[in-house]
Amino acid sequence: MDKNSFDPDPDPDVRSVEASMAHPQVGIIMGSDSDWPTMKAAALLLRDFGVECDVQVRSAHRTPEAVQDYASTAAKRGIRVILAAAGGAAHLAGVIASFTSLPVIGIPMKTQALGGLDSLFSVVQMPAGVPVATVGIGEAGAVNAAVLAAQILALERPELRPKLDAFKKRLEEEGLQKAERVKDALLARKGNS
């Protein structure tokens, strides 16, 4: 990692993400290190798909030149998709999108003041011609951003498709198990009445 890279934590799962950053195709950029607990889900899921990522902290407001450099050089560095997470004013994804033609996926962070609605509106309301694909607020959004990034990469990397299919199959199985548990609980409750 370079001197501006984010050193997330000693978590062994995170260390395996760091070890897979030799040839990253997905950039994960956050406005603050406080976004890492949410964005960690995206990094770990990408690792599970076999997609290398580069994790950075850059602020559109505090380090604008570093953000411009990151975005304008991303394609040259092999990045194919950028996941940009920010809370509050949440300008990071839009600023990134203004300096690159790569797909940018914005992840609004949950905030204290408005629960992330402020972030969502900031990320989703982009002017015509500067698109940012926007996912939901918080960890579910981070997971969906990782899946979407893998789906974009699968257009050029067909080996990702079976992994994505298996992921979706696992979601289906989990959903069916949950439905069965609810059904069993309702039947047990009805039997006790």
How many Å from the N-terminal Cα to the C-terminal Cα in the chain?
Answer: 62
pLDDT band at 3 (very low <50, low <70, confident <90, very high): very low
Query: How many other C-beta atoms lie within 10 A of the C-beta of residue 47?
Result: 20
pLDDT of residue 71: 97
Of residues 146 and 89, the one with the higher pLDDT is: 146
pLDDT of residue 79: 98
Is pLDDT of 8 > 60? no
Per residue in 126-182, pLDDT (tens digit) is 999 999 999 999 999 999 999 999 999 999 999 999 999 999 999 999 999 999 999
Of residues 17 and 67, the one with the higher pLDDT is: 67
Per residue in 9-48, pLDDT (tens digit) is 556 555 555 545 679 999 999 999 999 999 999 999 999 9
pLDDT band at 4 (very low <50, low <70, confident <90, very high): very low
pLDDT of residue 32: 92
**Calpha distance 72→188 (Å, rounded):** 59
The percent helix, strand, coil of the chain (3-state, each to 5) is 50, 10, 35
**Is residue 36 classed as helix, strand or coil in its secondary structure?**
helix
Of residues 102 and 190, the one with the higher pLDDT is: 102
Of residues 49 and 122, the one with the higher pLDDT is: 49
Work out the average pLDDT over 97-109: 97
